[in-house]
Structure 1
Amino acid sequence: MAQNTPDGRTRDTDHRAPTTGTGRPTSRDVARAAGVSQATVSLVLGDKWRGRVSERTADTVRDTARALGYRPNLAARNLRLGHTRTALLVVPALTNEFFARVHTGAAAIAAEHGFGVVIYPSPDGTGPARDPFASARTALDGVIASSMATEALTAFRGTDLPLVMLDSDPTDRTAAAHVNLDIGDGIRQTAHHLLDLGHRRILHLASAISSWTFDVRAQTLADTLNPVPDATLHTIRAPFDIDTARAATEHALTTQHPRPTAIVCDGDILAAGACKAVRRLGLGIPEDISVTGFDDLTLATAVEPELTTVRLPAEHVGRRGMSALLAILDGRPPAEGDLPVELIVRGSTAPAPNPEP
């Protein structure tokens, strides 16, 4: 059975896969069934057809390939083109929801361009992150590192792999591009919210991890509170672990006099630990102590009262990071500018008890 093709020739419309030596349809089979050349099949399935063949012909080739069950030999094509169409996403942990969302965003953009994303954890974000491949240069087209200390990425330095760093020190010139959130603005929004509620005795439950993003939070909080004459700030540190954060907060609340009226936490996980500490001491949230988080994880609305926290557009970070890598690979400048963040006010904050005059 035959019919005319978009370019006026006839083609076989029986889309059953032809018999080949491997039993699998080839690009030659697709070309024969679609009534076009193998070069046209290659252009269409390689997404390089625009301006070279008509949209109607491209649709015909795609429909024919789909009907035949044809899958291109990506390994052979990538070897021929000299790239793997694979990016490595390095994160501090696989269990943190923020990094899962970053991966979701990066993978979505990657899929639109025929790329894959391999995710790889480097504990605590300080590393060192070992090269998970025999040779990253031969296995990857680029690396995206999220919230990692620069010294953790030594395994990928000294190669010509482009490196895109997310939520990291923008002065690090070894990265080809940076994608940052406006972390400082998030802390400023939090501090002004608490100051407006009359809080002056602030406890900062900071991350025990030393990295740019947490250094910015600490410095910005101190800079915001310092000009306020009656404001005091005390900082304690804890790993991103609820029980350790609870213990550190309990110790601080029982040893500091007068007691803090608000706790600013570097993350929602730390905030969950702080909330447990407050309750174990028989105090109320927010009537005795207000608590704030950072990230706006699902956890923020699972606790009671729900957590006032800074919402970070994690998926957007991943999308921007993958887009930056693709731009670099194409020789284009990546987008610039920090991504905005937003303070989400919920039930864990309220006016300070017995505010000072």
Structure 2
Amino acid sequence: MSSAQRPAPPRPTSRDVARAAGVSQATVSLVLGGKWQGRVSEATAGRVRDSARDLGYRPNLAARSLRLGRTRTALLVVPALTNEFFARVYTGAAAVAAEHDFGVVLYPSPDGTGPARDPFASARAALDGVIASSMAADTLGALRGADLPLVMLDSDPDEHGAAAQVNLDIADGMRQVAEHLLALGHRRLVHLASGVDTWTFAERARALADAVRDVPGATVRRVTSPLDVRAGREATEAVLAAPGPLPTAIVCDDDILAAGACKAVRRRGLRVPGDISVTGFDDLALATAVEPELTTVQLPAEQVGERGMAALLAVLDGRPAEAGSLPVRLVIRGSTAAPPADGARM
């Protein structure tokens, strides 16, 4: 029989791994299922993993799913599919999921504000858990009522309905923005805030107000806008047309609003940053597509997704999820500078 006709060697089984490692099949199941801590020694677990690797053993996921009552599928709920940030969150979550033979299904809530239609009535039996990123407050009822482990990303740490949380240090990001602008000499600030009612945007508003409060002569005026370029431009135009001194800096809740603010400033015949500085938040690709490029806060979106999926896996295995907020950093580009020397209305 030629090599082309020779049948493939039989696929190694857990019994083969057990025999090679000198342990029972139950021990192999514990180790390869991630449930060996406290039951099997580190040396034995290492021997089992080495044997499985050397034999090229792959677990029968269908059989294991039936045995454990799991589908190895997670649902990632996001406010919108059109925002690059959530695409990157998904990328991170899917990468970790793939390492553990999980799949991730992406589900958007309408218009980014919710409430999302409850996807769980038909999907409960097909899911092991839910990861929800930056959701509006009125979407949480359906998520909590799904009878599935829930991991919240970029959400209120005082909410108690989640099995685990992964947060960014959003407040520190806005403090970095405020400190940068105040150090440049800005004292008349406008906060172009998202009109979406979520913890992450409320945290940005609180941190900015706190940073400005104790600085002599500094003020911040908050105006809200839907999250799109046109709305950001129109909201900024209204600010610039109002009586009184112009702001010297516009602090935006995200880069999309900042792009709209820059358009409004230029349409009035003013310069960014010569007359008015503009800052964004998120560091989307848009931040370097506009001119001047945006000073903005860089958020590690893929790492948020990675940590979120890892947290869900920990919850499913009965382990504590990793604690602590993810750091963010200010990226200074061309859209910020010292305010005009005279500070007069133009």
TM class, shorter-length: 0.7 to 0.9
**Residue of structure 2 in register with 1:320 after alignment:** 307
Q: Summarize the alignment of residues 130-149 of structure 1 with structure 2, pairs less than 5 Å apart.
A: 130-149=117-136
| Aligned position for 1:79 | 66
| Alignment-derived partner of residue 245 in structure 1 | 232
Q: 1:54 to 1:125 in 2, by over 3 A?
A: closer
Query: What CA distance in whole angstroms lies between the structure 2 residues aligned with 1:75 and 1:206?
Result: 48
Q: State the one-letter code of the partner of 2:93.
A: A
Residue 166 in structure 1 maps to residue 157 in structure 2 = no
What is the DSSP-based 3-state SS (H/G/I as helix, E as strand, rest coil) of the residue aligned with 2:330? Answer: strand
Amino acid at match of 1:93: A
Contact 1:293 1:307 in 2 (8 A): yes
Deviation string for 1:269-321 (max 9, x for gaps)? 00000011111111111101100000000110111111000001111111111
**Aligned-pair distance for 1:15?**
5.9
Distance change (3 Å), C-alpha of 1:130 and 1:73: farther
1:305–1:57 Cα change, 3 Å: closer
Code of the residue aligned with 1:87 in structure 2: it is A
Paired with 2:192 and 2:307, the residues of 1 have a C-alpha distance of 30
Matches within 5 A, 1:104-253: 104-253=91-240
Of residues 327, 335, 340, the one that matches 1:340 is: 327
1:267·1:294 contact (CA, 8 Å) conserved in 2?
yes
Q: Distance in 2 between matches of 1:195 and 1:53?
A: 58
Deviation at 1:158, TM superposition (A): 3.1
What is the CA RMSD across the aligned residues, in angstroms? 2.9
Structure 1 residues 129-149: Cα deviation after superposition (integer angstroms, max 9, x where no partner): 223354333111111100012
2: CA distance, partners of 1:354 / 1:37: 77
Per-residue Cα deviation, 1:145-165 (whole angstroms, up to 9, x for no partner): 000124303223234311110
- Gap change, CA 1:53 and 1:212, over 3 Å in 2: closer
The question of 1:16 aligning with 2:7 is answered yes
* Residue of structure 2 aligned with 1:297, choices 284, 294, 308: 284
Q: Secondary structure at the match of 1:119?
A: strand
- Structure 1 contact 143–164 (Cα < 8 Å) conserved: yes
- 1:60 paired with 2:41, answer no
- Quick one: distance in 2 between partners of 1:186 and 1:57? 45
Any idea what SS the aligned residue of 2:11 has? helix
Q: Relative to structure 1, is the Cα distance of residues 57 and 286 closer, same or farther in structure 2, using a 3 angstrom cutoff?
A: closer
**Structure 1 stretch displaced more, 126-135 or 206-215:** 126-135
Deviation, structure 1 residue 55:
2.9
Check the 8 A contact 2:17/2:55 in 1, yes or no: no
Q: How has the CA–CA distance of structure 1 residues 225 and 51 changed in structure 2, closer, same or farther, with 3 Å as cutoff?
A: closer
CA–CA separation in structure 2 for the residues paired with 1:276 and 1:54: 58
Give the structure 2 partner of residue 9 of structure 1.
Answer: none
SS of the aligned residue for 1:135 comes to helix
- Paired-residue identity, %: 66
Q: 2:265 aligns with which of 278, 291, 308?
A: 278
How far is the alpha carbon of 1:61 from its aligned partner? 3.8
Q: Which moved more, 1:100-109 or 1:48-57?
A: 48-57
What CA deviation, in whole Å up to 9, does each residue of 1:93-145 have, x standing for no partner? Answer: 01100001111111111111111111110134432222335433311111110
Unaligned 5+ residue runs, structure 1? 2-11, 19-28, 66-71
Give 5+ residue unaligned stretches, structure 2: 34-43
Q: CA 1:339–1:232 in 2, change beyond 3 Å: closer, same or farther?
A: same
Cα distance in 1 for partners of 2:47, 2:180 equals 57
Residues 327-349 of structure 1, C-alpha deviations (whole Å, 9 max, x = no match): 11111111111111101000000
- Over 3 Å counting, the alpha-carbon distance change for 1:36 and 1:212 in structure 2 is closer
The 3 A distance-change label for structure 1 pair 267 and 15 is farther
The alignment covers a number of residue pairs equal to: 326
Deviation at 1:172, TM superposition (A): 0.5
Return the alpha-carbon distance in structure 1 between the equivalents of residues 145 and 6 of structure 2: 50
Q: Could you tell me how far apart the structure 2 residues matched to 1:15 and 1:191 are?
A: 70
Amino acid at match of 1:16: P
Instruction: List per-residue Cα deviations over 1:238-286 (Å, max 9, x = no partner).
Output: 1111011111111111114200110000000000000111111111111
**Counterparts of 1:54 and 1:210 in 2: how far apart (Å)?**
47
User: How far 1:56 sits from its partner (Å)?
Assistant: 4.9
Q: Which shifted more, 47-56 or 85-94?
A: 47-56
The answer to whether the 8 Å contact 2:115/2:136 transfers is: no
Cα pair distance change 1:35/1:84, threshold 3 Å: closer
Deviations 1:60-115 (A, max 9, x none): 344xx8xxxxxx76445422320111111000001100001111111111111111
Partner of 1:24: none
1:68 aligned residue: none
TM-score normalised by L of structure 2: 0.85
